[in-house]
Structure 1
Amino acid sequence: MNQLKKGFPEGFLWGGAVAANQVEGAYLEDGKGLSTSDFAAYKDPYAGGEVNNFTFNVSSQELLEYTANESGYLFPKRWGIDFYHHYKEDIRLFAEMGFKVFRLSISWARIFPTGMEEKPNEKGLKFYDLVFDELKKYGIEPLVTLSHYEMPIELTKKYNGWQSRELIPLFTRFAETCFERYKDKVTYWITFNEMNMNLNSLYTGAGTLPDLVSNQEAAAYQASHYQFVASSLAIQIGKKIMPQAKIGCMICRLETYAETCNPEDQLQALKEDHINLFYPDVQVRGEYPAYMKRYFAENGIEFETLPEDFEIIRSNTADFISFSYYMTYVTKGGPDAKELSGHLVSKIKNPYIKLSDWGWPIDPIGLRITLNKLWDRYQVPLFVVENGLGAVDTLESDETVHDPYRIEYMGEHIRQMKEAVCDGVELMGYTSWGCIDLISCGTSQMSKRYGMIYVDQDDRGNGSLKRIRKDSFFWYKKVIESNGEVI
């Protein structure tokens, strides 16, 4: 027998992750167009005592109001943390931590301002050239997401986002442009961030105004189908341009537990797991699974497809599965099962684990379970590309930030990743989410901080933008130096 694995492999990709719409700012600079994320208005997340007041859905009426009265609202993703002008400083700090990889995304609207131009915006392309060159200076590999919760807002206005097949060639032109431009600078790519977000927020995941569709669940699967085709075509194009490239898919992974050992609860957990795994089933196995065909039939879900779509999907599968992991989910069977499911945070509380400040279950062992489950099912390399703790951090008078809760959270998850590697899982790397403080995706807050680098800015965009190393910064540096042996 081969010798048992005892830890992370040599060359393991340690690093951090951000998204363009949450960090870049400069929302109209150098020819960039407006994107869907530029219309995510800040709303008091504590209104009514609810800390999970998600703000990432936008209706057609809200979009009209925001467009007509932009000065009457705050749009934090428009200013981000001004990575656009601070990227050299930020990358230098990532290098100081010892990053081997940095996950970032390319703003579609920075390259094609409306998404419909024939030629790309050269100034937008040049910005990412500068970022990739800066990463190379420090020996940091870029991991690039093509579509991370933003698209040109004009595509929402004209096509209602991914409800239209017309977006497929527009996206593949964007992808091909990026592949051709950065083929010598980027090896690792992800086509769509958390494609299963379509089921939770049509606007965020698909650029679709939910009040303009008759059946939101059917609309989510319509968008997903077009994205499957677009992703597969992008992989096909990418492999021709960059034979050495690794192009992966991504999901938001919610490991699902049954509330009890009641067979009905167990069956419901299986069904909900199927919904989650549907996305890598299509993108890695190359076909729609039978369980989803049954689900569509029994729930009256219909959407447009073409026969050739399935050959495209079958012939161009992902090289690896990347996923975000923040929490686990509890479900149960019975007549109210459907009402309880379909929420980002389960309505059923798990008494065995504690919650974050935002009510998110903290379950490191669940990460080991999910890694094993995904590896057993797919036998392709895995990549944890988002994992982190959103918390309220305090900047002390001596400009220090003590965040032992973040160190504990990350440490416990890394320990469970190590256990999974010893179980035999092939794990490529780990990029902690929000390695530097950024604008929250779901609440547009700055005060929900994930980073190991503090950014002096409040929810309304006030502050010096000074970057300050937290205690977790120095801790993570040691983790990387030891390849996960010192945690």
Structure 2
Amino acid sequence: MNKNFIFPKNFWWGSATSGPQSEGSFNKKHKSIFDYWYEIEPEVFFNKVGPEVTSNFYNSYKEDLAMLKEIGLNSFRTSIQWTRLIKNLETGEADEDAIEFYNNVIDETIKNGIIPVINLHHFDLPVELYDKYGGWESKHVVDLFVKFAETAFKLFADRVKYWTTFNEPIVIVEGQYLYQFHYPKVVNGKKAMQVLYNVNLASSKVVKVFKSRGYDKDGGQIGTILNLTPSYPRDINNTEDVEAARIADTFFNESFLSPAVKGEFPKLLIEILEKEGVIWQSTEEELNIIKENTIDFLGVNYYFPRRVKAKETTCNSKEWMPDKYFDNYEMPGRRMNPYRGWEIYPKAIYDIAINIRDNYNNIPWFISENGMGVEGEERYINTEGIVEDDYRIDFFKEHLENLHKGIEEGANCFGYHTWTPIDCWSWCNAYKNRYGFIALDLETQKKTIKKSGRWIKEVTEKNGF
């Protein structure tokens, strides 16, 4: 029996990208840590493809946004690049070319009947702020980020009503300070935890500016985007496995979710960090800023679950690591996306919905990213030149069915954004895996709507499937 899945009125059907992954480096004033990393180690990036052109959005935004309209999207998230908008990083003074570019993008988005959702930080710290101050290790950098946000609000908040502070802030901590998958590839547990604190503080300070300056008056709202990766214990009847999963959840999910929504850090996190001697430096005043400046809405990026078991191996790292408390677990028989090495587990979207409903004040939220990266999609091009990505359509349907169930049971979810509208540059993976509704030919920059792009148009027209 086929079931109809119809979503709430005014539901956001959209897609997300970011400035550094779509715009290219044209006319940019500063280098980000990724621009710099590509300069010094191009071989780290798949096929040595760097961020100079990406999907050429800087030059082709008009055509690109028209294609988003053509596939029926009613909302679109991208980011304003700190490295592009700000001419003087210390004062927060904006660059004229960047003002014109972002004004044009915002106006064009609205002209196409699409709601712009603007994010302020997508892993693209200006490298000179790392060289000079240690990047997010520094509270001075926190204040410079607040200046950048203020400039962006002043220029664009008359038209942009939905803002987010960070995209996947835990990844800054993991990639740059623990697991070495983002430059500067430091392994330092104490620095990692200071960065975790500072980024939370930066987010709250930006929320404070947004509200104290009245940008929330005409329906303006501010949130954050977190990648929530539920931790499932190997054996739910084994207390040690369950505790290991609870600790993993506290580190990787609640460390940003709890301050953002409730204004406080999880007690378990603080207990562990104090016991380990890696607790951050904080002041009463800062903790009050975090307490009093919580978000209006939450974006949730979901791709795969985390499977965890009680610690069985010894930690070889001389540095303190969260992994001291758990081991990752490979569940037998799990479904995999072989191209990313990620488990496919749609039920987690339902579990996230219920967790937010029950434990996070049922805050309004949306799925801000969900997607399937596939390598070698040219294998699926039909005689008309269209990528027949039925695997992607099936992936979306399964996740949406689970999301729908959560909404039916009272979760306050108002939208679903996929990653990504047009195949985009993906950090060290460059263009290895493709995620878009729209295919990009890297040689010619020609863009072609995939089968999934036609499918999402039908979904948006019916508000379901």
- TM-score normalised by the chain length of structure 1: 0.85
**Residue 181 of structure 1: how far off its partner (Å):** 0.7
Distance 1:93 1:256, change over 3 A: same
Alignment of 1:106 with 2:44, yes or no, is no
Alignment of 1:316 with 2:298, yes or no, is no
Aligned position for 1:368 = 350
Q: 2:455 aligns with which of 475, 483, 486?
A: 475
**Paired residues of 1:28 and 1:34 also in contact (CA < 8 A):** no
**Residue 444 of structure 1: how far off its partner (Å):** 3.0
**Paired residues of 1:320 and 1:380 also in contact (CA < 8 A):** yes
**Paired residues of 2:29 and 2:87 also in contact (CA < 8 A):** yes
Cα distance in 1 for partners of 2:239, 2:92 equals 56
- Could you list the per-position Cα deviations for residues 304-350 of structure 1 after superposition, in whole angstroms to 9, with x for gaps in the alignment? 2122101111111111121210001111013438689759xx85222
Q: 1:238 aligns with which of 202, 206, 210?
A: 210
Cα distance in 2 for partners of 1:205, 1:248 equals 28
**Residue 119 of structure 1: how far off its partner (Å):** 1.8
Aligned position for 2:31 = 34
Cα distance in 1 for partners of 2:88, 2:32 equals 8
**Residue 288 of structure 1: how far off its partner (Å):** 2.0
**Residue 199 of structure 1: how far off its partner (Å):** 3.3
Question: Which aligned pairs between 1:48-447 and structure 2 lie closer than 5 A?
Answer: 65=40, 74=48, 76-113=50-87, 115-202=89-176, 209-211=184-186, 216-239=188-211, 240-243=213-216, 244-260=219-235, 261-275=237-251, 276-336=253-313, 347-356=328-337, 357-378=339-360, 379-392=362-375, 393-394=377-378, 395-396=381-382, 398-441=384-427, 443-447=428-432
State the secondary structure of the residue aligned to 2:343. Answer: coil
Cα distance in 2 for partners of 1:308, 1:205 equals 32
- Could you list the per-position Cα deviations for residues 355-389 of structure 1 after superposition, in whole angstroms to 9, with x for gaps in the alignment? 11221000111111111112211121111101000
- Could you list the per-position Cα deviations for residues 260-297 of structure 1 after superposition, in whole angstroms to 9, with x for gaps in the alignment? 13111111111111112121101111112211111102
Cα distance in 2 for partners of 1:349, 1:335 equals 13
Cα distance in 2 for partners of 1:223, 1:410 equals 34
Cα distance in 1 for partners of 2:57, 2:418 equals 17
Structure 1 gap ranges (5+)? 1-5, 42-62, 458-462
- TM-score normalised by the chain length of structure 2: 0.89
Per mean C-alpha deviation after superposition, the further-off stretch among 467-476 and 218-227 is 218-227
- Could you list the per-position Cα deviations for residues 389-419 of structure 1 after superposition, in whole angstroms to 9, with x for gaps in the alignment? 0002114453111111111111111111111
Structure 2 gap ranges (5+)? none
State the secondary structure of the residue aligned to 1:180. Answer: helix
State the secondary structure of the residue aligned to 2:366. Answer: strand
Distance 1:206 1:297, change over 3 A: farther
- Could you list the per-position Cα deviations for residues 165-185 of structure 1 after superposition, in whole angstroms to 9, with x for gaps in the alignment? 111221111001111111111
**Paired residues of 2:309 and 2:328 also in contact (CA < 8 A):** no
Cα distance in 1 for partners of 2:103, 2:387 equals 33
Distance 1:118 1:405, change over 3 A: closer
State the secondary structure of the residue aligned to 1:321. Answer: strand
Cα distance in 2 for partners of 1:436, 1:412 equals 22
**Paired residues of 2:336 and 2:342 also in contact (CA < 8 A):** yes
**Paired residues of 1:40 and 1:444 also in contact (CA < 8 A):** no
Aligned position for 2:9 = 10
**Paired residues of 1:32 and 1:124 also in contact (CA < 8 A):** no
Residue 294 of structure 2 aligns with an amino acid whose one-letter code is T
- Could you list the per-position Cα deviations for residues 170-228 of structure 1 after superposition, in whole angstroms to 9, with x for gaps in the alignment? 111100111111111111111011111133212799987344xxx62221221122222
**Paired residues of 2:92 and 2:148 also in contact (CA < 8 A):** no
**Paired residues of 2:173 and 2:195 also in contact (CA < 8 A):** no
Number of residue pairs matched? Answer: 443
**Paired residues of 1:160 and 1:208 also in contact (CA < 8 A):** no
- Could you list the per-position Cα deviations for residues 28-65 of structure 1 after superposition, in whole angstroms to 9, with x for gaps in the alignment? 41x53211121343xxxxxxxxxxxxxxxxxxxxx7x4
**Paired residues of 2:437 and 2:450 also in contact (CA < 8 A):** yes
Residue 350 of structure 1 aligns with an amino acid whose one-letter code is M
**Paired residues of 1:197 and 1:205 also in contact (CA < 8 A):** no
Cα distance in 2 for partners of 1:209, 1:474 equals 41
**Residue 445 of structure 1: how far off its partner (Å):** 2.3
State the secondary structure of the residue aligned to 1:241. Answer: coil
Residue 261 of structure 2 aligns with an amino acid whose one-letter code is V
Cα distance in 2 for partners of 1:111, 1:169 equals 16
Cα distance in 1 for partners of 2:233, 2:328 equals 13
- Could you list the per-position Cα deviations for residues 88-132 of structure 1 after superposition, in whole angstroms to 9, with x for gaps in the alignment? 111111111111110100010101246235521121121111001
Cα distance in 2 for partners of 1:39, 1:342 equals 30
Q: What CA RMSD, in Å, does the superposition of the two structures yield over aligned residues? A: 2.6
**Paired residues of 1:103 and 1:145 also in contact (CA < 8 A):** yes
**Paired residues of 1:252 and 1:325 also in contact (CA < 8 A):** yes
**Paired residues of 1:200 and 1:342 also in contact (CA < 8 A):** no
Percent sequence identity over aligned pairs: 30
Cα distance in 1 for partners of 2:111, 2:344 equals 36
Cα distance in 2 for partners of 1:278, 1:100 equals 32
State the secondary structure of the residue aligned to 1:200. Answer: helix
State the secondary structure of the residue aligned to 2:411. Answer: coil
Distance 1:205 1:316, change over 3 A: farther
